[in-house]
Chain A
Amino acid sequence: MEFPAVLGYATDIRVDALLTATNVQRSALGLTSLTLNTTLSQAAALKAQDMFTSNYWAHTSPAGKSPWFFFNQAGYKYTIAGENLAKNFSTSSGVVEAWMASPTHKDNIVKSGYRDVGFAVVNGILNGEETTLVVQMFGATNSPIASIPVETSAVAPKPVELPAFIEEKSLGDQTSKVTEVPIVTESETIQTVSAPKSAFFAVFEQPKLNISTITRYVTFIFLGLLIVILALDGLIVSKKRIARVAGHNVAHILFFSAILVAISVVSRGTLL
């Protein structure tokens, strides 16, 4: 019997929602929709797994593995490729909105040369804290685009059929089971890669108390109280004509109001 977490971060990120949101953005610009590609999703899952295993938050691993390594490892023969990363967002739409707000990530989403897209949404421990990773990989196997990123000039190994190891499972199970994924390179040598058999298609967590929401409410209440106290103080001092050496209450109120507005736009998620 599983009990719902009491305190945690509410998360609802799903691959189907990410795909829809991505294609809505492309359609709005008159671009063709991207097709969800299983091999690219496998590459994204391998990348996510490597990030958790090697404990890094970067496009290139500490061991020097670039995103294109995982394209090759999954057997996706690209002519053009790209990768977007996100962590700790609460919703699928929040992830895509943040990518669209970032010029470099937006470039990937609206690049006309891409035909396929793959996603991995994984929960795990990164740098000692619970993290929800979203890996989005773009590609085309026969792109008409002439300009190919420098990184994509690497020769892809011969593509091989990989067993489908991605399946939706309930959260909290992702580190317990592993499956062996054989990867065949051009020299026909076989490597095995351990991939967690986990919730690569969705992360859904609904704790009773959401830490982000509680922190935000407490901060808003604290700032609101400060503003009210400063306003009352200014009013009393002005009404009773009290002479004192002090800062300017109106300036403090304006400053705290600006902080309040700034905090209201903070989202927990981070992009790379």
Chain B
Amino acid sequence: MNLKHINFIVLAIILIAGVATFRGAKGDSMMQLFIGIATTISYILWGMMYHWFEGDLHTKVVIEYLLVGAIAVVLLLTVLWT
């Protein structure tokens, strides 16, 4: 098992834990938003770590992960507050 596999196992754990806790907080929109933001931040940090290990961490990559995270948070906000 190489580093890439380990990285994706970590990502899977982050995402599964995020979705599971999000489901567990059903009925509490604030908590769901908090979990969504926490999962997004974890994903962005995971992205930084992954590309740092791969040796291709660049400002463009950081911006890409930040934008992906922003899209996710905006969509969560939209669904949670309508």
Hey, which bits of chain A sit against chain B, CB under 8 A?
A: 86, 98, 101-102, 211-212, 215-216, 219, 222-223, 226, 245-248, 251-252, 254-256, 258-259, 261-263, 265-271
Instruction: Let me know if A245 and B78 touch, CB within 8 A.
Output: no
Q: How far is the CB of A29 from chain B (nearest CB, A)?
A: 21
In the complex, A263 Cα to B36 Cα: how many Å? 10
Are A270 and B27 within 8 A (Cβ)?
A: yes
Measured in the bound complex, the distance between the Cα atoms of B25 and A271 in whole Å is 11
Q: State whether A245 touches B61 (Cβ < 8 A).
A: yes
Assuming the A-B contacts A262-B18, A265-B26, are A248 and B47 also in contact, with contact meaning beta carbons closer than 8 angstroms in the complex?
A: yes
* Chain A contact surface mostly: helix
Residue of B nearest to A271 (CB): B27
Contact A262 B19 (CB under 8 A): yes
In B46-82, the 8 Å CB interface with A consists of 46-47, 50-51, 56, 58, 60-61, 64-65, 68, 71-72, 75-76, 78-80, 82
A98 partner, pick from B8, B26, B61, B78, beta carbons under 8 A? B26
30 A-B pairs within 8 Å (CB atoms) are namely A211-B82, A212-B82, A215-B78, A216-B79, A219-B78, A219-B79, A222-B75, A245-B60, A247-B65, A247-B68, A251-B47, A254-B11, A254-B15, A255-B43, A255-B68, A255-B72, A258-B15, A258-B18, A259-B36, A262-B19, A262-B22, A262-B36, A263-B75, A263-B76, A265-B22, A266-B80, A267-B26, A267-B27, A268-B82, A271-B28
Size category of the B interface is 35 or more
Q: Restricting to B7-30, which residues have a CB under 8 Å from any CB of A?
A: 8, 11-12, 15-16, 18-19, 22-23, 26-29
Q: Taking chain B's interface residues, is the majority helix, strand, or loop, or is none over half, making it mixed?
A: helix
Complex Cα gap A236–B55 (Å): 23
Min Cβ gap B69→A in Å is 8
Do residues A247 and B61 form an inter-chain contact, with CB atoms below 8 A? Answer: yes
Q: In this complex, what residue of B is CB-closest to A98? A: B27
Report Cα–Cα, A262/B18, bound state, in Å: 8
Q: B18 touching A219 by the CB < 8 A rule?
A: no
Q: Mark B33-49, 1 if CB is under 8 A from A, else 0.
A: 00010010001001100
Residues of the A chain whose Cβ atoms lie less than 8 Å from the Cβ of B80: 266
Closest chain B residue, CB of each to CB of A248: B50
> Which of B18, B19, B27, B60 is within 8 Å of A102, CB to CB?
B27
On chain B, the residues within 8 Å of A261 by CB distance are 19
Find out whether the CB atom of B11 lies under 8 angstroms from the CB atom of A251. Answer: yes
The 7 closest A-B pairs by CB, nearest first: A258-B15, A247-B64, A271-B27, A98-B27, A215-B82, A262-B22, A245-B58
List 9 additional A-B contacts (Cβ < 8 Å) besides A215-B82, A262-B32, A267-B27: A222-B75, A223-B75, A245-B56, A246-B61, A247-B64, A247-B68, A251-B46, A262-B36, A266-B32
Q: What residues on A are CB-neighbors of B76 within 8 Å?
A: 259, 262-263
Q: Smallest CB–CB gap between A252 and chain B, Å?
A: 6
CB neighbours of A266 from chain B (8 A) = 32, 79-80
